[in-house]
Structure 1
Amino acid sequence: MKSETRIDKQSSNPKGIGLQSWFQSNKWGYVASVSLLPYAIFKTLWALGVPIGATQKAIEDMHANMEAYSGPVFSFLYRYGIDITALLAIIAIFLALALVRPWGQRFPKWIPIFGGRKFHRWLLLFPAWVGGMLFTIFGGVSVIDMGLMGLGIKPSGNMDGLEPWVFMIVYGGFFIWGFTICLAALSYQTRTRNRKAENNQTFL
C-alpha cells in the first residue's frame, strides 16, 4: 500500500510531469524544420546566381564545379536553380515535420494498396536518429572550429569566397537540426511506444 502511495505521489509530481512534457513536446520537430531553411535558401540563391554571402567568383566556381562533376541530371537541375543539397535539406525538413504531425504515421492516401495505412515507426526513427547524431557531431565540431578561427586561436582556413557568417549560420543550422531532430525522434518514439498511446495521441 505504501509503495502504491509513493508511485502516485511521483506521478503527480509537477517536476516529473514537466520534464516528461518537455521531452514529448512537438516543438522540437518545428525547431528542426526551421533550422535548415537558411541553408536551403542560400544554396538555391547561389544556384540562381545570386551572390548573397558569397563573391561573384565563388558563384561562378560553384556553377563550374556542378557542370564538371555533378553529372548530367544534377547539372541540368542546377542550371534552373535546383541544387541537390537544397532538395536534401527540404527532405530533412519534412522528416522533422513528420515526427510531430499526424501524417507522419501513415502512408499518403494516393499510394496504391498502402494508402492511409500506418507504417512502422522506425521508417522515421532510423533516419532521424542516425542523421541527428551525425549532424550534431559534424555541426558542433564545425561551429567550434569556426569560433576558434574567429577568436584567432586557430588560423583561418580557405573560405572559398564565402563570408564567415554564412558558415556560422549553415553549420549552426546543422547542429541545431541534429540536436532537435534527436529530441523530436525521442518524443515520437515515446508517443508511439504502444498502439493505444498512438491512437489516443493528440497532435498540436
Structure 2
Amino acid sequence: MTKKRKWWLSKKWGFAASVALLPYAVLKTLWANGVVILASVKGIEGLHASMKTIADPVSAFLYAKGIDITAVLALIASTLAVALVQEWGRRIPRWMLLVPAGLGGTFFISISLATFYKLAVGTIRLTDTPEFDPWVLLPVYGGFFIWGIAISMAALSYGIRTGFYTRLDV
C-alpha cells in the first residue's frame, strides 16, 4: 500500500455515517414531543394515537415520555459508526462491529432504493400521506441511504485497516 491512504480506507466514512441519521433522530424526537414540523397537526395526532394503541409496551412507554424508539436506534447506529473509526472501537471484537454494520448498511440501502424506485414508477406517491410533508423523505430515506453507504464503507475500511480482510489489503 502506498503512503497516501486509499479513499476506501478513510475514517471519514465512519464520521459521515455517525451524522447521517441525526436529522432523522431529531425529527422523530420532535414528533414524539408533539412538535409539528414536516407534518400536520393531524399527522402528529395520528402518530401519537397509533403509538398509544398499536405499539409494543416499551415503545409506547418511551413515546409517552417523548422518546421515539427509532430515534434511539439511530443514535445506536451513530455510535456503531463512531466505533469503526475511534481507538476505543478496537477493544470490541471486530465481528461485533462488522456484522451489524454490513447487514445494516445493506438493509438501509435496499429499503431506500426500493422506496425511491416505488416513487419513480408511481407505486407510491408523495400525496399518499397528506399528513406529512413530502420533504420528510429527505431526512428519512435520504438519511437511510447515506447511512447505508457510509456505514458499509466504514465497515470495509475498518476491516481492511484492522487486517480482518487481509486479502483486500493491497
TM norm structure 2: 0.88
Match of 1:102 among 87, 94, 117: 87
| Whole-angstrom CA distance in 1 between matches of 2:73 and 2:159 | 23
Match of 2:113 in 1: 140
Match of 2:36 in 1: 51
Residue identity opposite 1:186 in structure 2: L
CA drift of 1:120 comes to 2.1
Match of 1:187 in 2: 157
Match of 2:76 in 1: 91
Match of 2:47 among 62, 65, 79: 62
| Whole-angstrom CA distance in 2 between matches of 1:144 and 1:27 | 28
| Whole-angstrom CA distance in 2 between matches of 1:183 and 1:70 | 33
Match of 1:38 in 2: 23
| Whole-angstrom CA distance in 2 between matches of 1:144 and 1:168 | 15
Match of 1:125 among 98, 102, 108: 98
Gaps of 5+ in 2: 165-170
Match of 1:174 among 144, 159, 169: 144
| Whole-angstrom CA distance in 2 between matches of 1:39 and 1:85 | 9
Match of 2:168 in 1: none
Match of 2:6 among 21, 25, 29: 21
Deviations along 1:120-161, one digit per CA (max 9) or x if unpaired, are 211100000011111111112323434x2xxxx626252251
Contact 1:143 1:168 in 2 (8 A): no
TM norm structure 1: 0.74
Deviations along 1:155-179, one digit per CA (max 9) or x if unpaired, are 6252251111111331011011001
The CA RMSD measured in Å over matched residues stands at 1.8
Count the aligned residue pairs: 162
| Whole-angstrom CA distance in 2 between matches of 1:125 and 1:72 | 30
CA, structure 1 residues 138+72, in 2 after alignment: closer, same or farther (shift >3 Å)?
Answer: closer
CA, structure 1 residues 141+73, in 2 after alignment: closer, same or farther (shift >3 Å)?
Answer: closer
Determine which structure has greater relative contact order: mean sequence separation of CA pairs < 8 Å that are 6+ residues apart, divided by chain length.
2
| Whole-angstrom CA distance in 2 between matches of 1:82 and 1:120 | 30
CA drift of 1:42 comes to 0.7
| Whole-angstrom CA distance in 2 between matches of 1:40 and 1:143 | 21
Residue identity opposite 1:31 in structure 2: A
Match of 1:115 in 2: none
CA, structure 1 residues 71+141, in 2 after alignment: closer, same or farther (shift >3 Å)?
Answer: closer
| Sequence identity percentage | 49
Gaps of 5+ in 1: 1-10, 107-118, 195-204
